[in-house]
Amino acid sequence: MKNMKNFAAQQLSKKQMNNVKGGASANCVTTNPQGIVVASFKLNYEEGTEGSLQGIVDAVTPIGCVTVCRRA
């Protein structure tokens, strides 16, 4: 029983688990002006940097297209 109590006391939060495994991930989809999907990809990033994620993706998105990323 002592081992189970120790195990329960060492549980990590979701944020802590993401940091242990190397961060978080997002699924991104790029569409052209006609709404046709031209690319989809998974992006790994460090937890807490979501604010800059969309700006970075926008910088590499082709002109006229839109890329939307949602946390996986």
Residues whose CB falls within 8 Å of the CB of residue 34, separated by 6 or more in sequence, listed in order: none
Report the alpha-carbon distance of residue 66 to residue 12 in Å, rounded.
36
Model pTM greater than 0.75?
Answer: no
pLDDT tens-place values along the chain, 72 residues long: 455 555 554 566 666 665 555 678 899 999 999 999 999 999 888 877 877 888 888 888 999 999 999 988
| 31-68-29 Cα angle (round to 5) | 50
What are the residue ranges spanned by the domains of the chain? 2-71
